[in-house]
Amino acid sequence: MRRIPSLDTSVRVKVYATVEPSEDPKKVELAIKNVVGHVEPKNIMVEEDFILYEFDDEKALYFIYSKIRDRQVVSAVKRLLLSNKVGSSTKLMLNRQVAYVGNVVVCEEEGESPLGPIFVEIESPNIDNVIEWLAGKVF
């Protein structure tokens, strides 16, 4: 198993997706759970057309951390995190169907995931440190 270094800053993570009328909300929720591994969220909001999981630490990013290294897409993820950075936050979009089967494929545009992506929003007072931790050097 990959050793994941600790992150020495506070971070909030929101993972969410819309639920299309043709979709089973339980499958969308499973895709979200697959993105965050077995980490227990601080808050869960499930509505008819929207599912949101909120976390107060970097553990929600461990699965993404490992998968982007396994798939050797760290530099692409870093580029997206930097280009999506606004103030103290950034975001990634993940292919929902791929997440459902337990893997990670990053989308550059919403249309790359036919039913819409899973959004991963990351907030931190030290967002540059979080980006470097998540998609910086490969050990």
Q: Please give the angle made by the CA atoms of 19, 101 and 74, to the nearest 5 degrees.
A: 95
54 part of a folded domain: yes
Asked if 44 contacts 52 with a C-beta cutoff of 8 angstroms, the reply is: yes
Amino acid at 25: P
pTM (predicted TM-score)? 0.94
Report the CATH number at residue 30.
3.30.1440.10
Residue 94 — φ and ψ, nearest 5°? -120, 145
5 part of a folded domain: no
Query: What is the predicted pLDDT for the residue at 16?
Result: 98
- pLDDT (tens place) for every residue of the chain, 139 residues total: 578 888 989 999 999 999 999 999 999 999 999 999 889 999 999 999 999 999 999 999 999 999 998 888 999 999 999 999 999 999 999 999 999 999 999 999 999 998 899 999 999 999 999 999 999 876 5
41 part of a folded domain: yes
How crowded is the C-beta side of 64, counted as CA atoms within 13 Å? Answer: 33
Query: What is the predicted pLDDT for the residue at 1?
Result: 53
114 part of a folded domain: yes
Query: What is the predicted pLDDT for the residue at 70?
Result: 86
89 part of a folded domain: yes
- Domain range holding 26? 12-135
2 part of a folded domain: no
Max Cα distance, the chain (Å):
43
Query: What is the predicted pLDDT for the residue at 3?
Result: 85
- For the stretch 84-89, contacts whose Cβ atoms lie closer than 8 Å and that sit 24 or more positions apart, written own/partner, are 85/127, 85/131, 87/127, 88/123, 88/124, 88/125, 88/127, 89/121, 89/122, 89/123, 89/124, 89/127
Asked if 61 contacts 134 with a C-beta cutoff of 8 angstroms, the reply is: yes
79 part of a folded domain: yes
7 part of a folded domain: no
Domain count, the chain: 1
